[in-house]
Amino acid sequence: MKHNSTAPLWRAFALARGPEGDRAAVRPWLSGIARTWTEHLARLHATGWAHADVQPTNTLVTHDGHAAVIDYALACGPAADRRVPYRGALTHTTAPEFAAALLDTHIPAQPAADIWSLGASLFSCWTGHRPVSYDDTTDRLEKLAAIAKGTTTALCDVRPWPFPEFEDAVTACLAPDPADRPTAKELTTAW
């Protein structure tokens, strides 16, 4: 499945969000985007860095169905010093351990949080729903408190159509405990 130009992830996933997206060409296309996205993250994580702002607007889908990761402004590296204090990124892609800590202090981003954000981004762009339910008008601290609980909406309750392999990988990314999430390298073969 090819697109004529590069598009933000949300727009690129528009067809997949509906029941008409359940066709043979869409599954490998979705998997290819997820795989190439995790390949980018695996290379970054292998050097000790975390992107720290993995979200739909920082991932473009190229005309050939590959993910292009952009905006490394919040990236956290192995050095302890930071140019800019990390206070989280897009609220609904903030990992539970970050949401809990951000309620109190600055924490350095780790690769496992990128994986949660990857899962949250794929979840929301495919289903049209956030993985953690809260009202748009809710205060950000209350949103972070909801995320910090580590409870997500069951993907099977909001998916537009069944895609077991994709669902399993996205669900694994959203594990509340960072130690239970797959690494980006492990995910490159899951899609």
pTM: predicted TM-score of the whole model, two decimal places:
0.83
Residues 139-167 as b or e (16 or more Cβ within 10 Å = b): eeeebbebbbebebeebeebbbeebeebb
Q: How far is CA 181 from the centre of its chain?
A: 12
CATH number of 7-72+89-187: 1.10.510.10
Residues of the chain above pLDDT 90, percent: 65
Check residue 76 and give its pLDDT.
85
pLDDT at 103: 57
**Rounded-to-10 torsion of CA 107, 121, 64, 160:** 170
Over range 114-124, report the average pLDDT.
96
What pLDDT was estimated at residue 129? 96
Report domain extents, the chain.
7-72+89-187
